[in-house]
Amino acid sequence: MLNIYIIRHGQDEDNAQKILNGRRDKPLTKKGVKQAQKIRDKIIKSKIKFNKIYSSPLKRAHQTAKIISSKNNFPSPIILENLTERDFGSMSGKPVSKITDICFPKIIKTEKVVYFLKAKNSETFPQLIKRGEGVINQVKKENKDGNVLLVTHGDIGKMIYASFYGLKWEEVLKKFYFNNTDLILLSKSASQKNQKVIKKI
């Protein structure tokens, strides 16, 4: 049986400054490093063993992956390009507070975040969910059983979730907030109704 876990990277410099990062390649903050160390220690305590770790190539995710693999005797992270965050296009580097002003009415507003649906040169969520499906298919092809960890980002992470469960992207954007170092178990055996997320360990 194959268990796929996904985790969002720790806080990076853009997160701390409330800047839309997308594919901007900023490193973890001190807080982000501590977040990654904390989830690593919880994984050790839970005795989950990962046979393989895949990581986005962006610094914030790859740093997180390396911290998790350290002290755990896990294999070194494998770069998987399709785990890269959504391309935010012209919204990259913009303040989070400006999303509504710039992108209205093409937004989805939730309790914790506002998602823009379209911007110049940006990746759309229909495109992103197809990329998420590709990630799931590749991981299943390369791994028949055991535990696999995907270290990724907020928007693409949610679309991987949507692809795995066959949910609509709009539904998943509203379903939960994927916070820094939240760990999610993707499992058909879990109750999808109660899989709001997040496997707290």
Q: Which residues are catalytic?
A: 9, 85
Sign of the four-CA dihedral 111, 56, 139, 37: negative
Closest to 25 (Cα-Cα) out of 55, 54, 62, 53: 62
Element (H, E) at 103: helix 99-103
Closest to 125 (Cα-Cα) out of 160, 151, 97, 78: 160
Maximum separation of any 2 CA atoms in the chain, in Å: 48
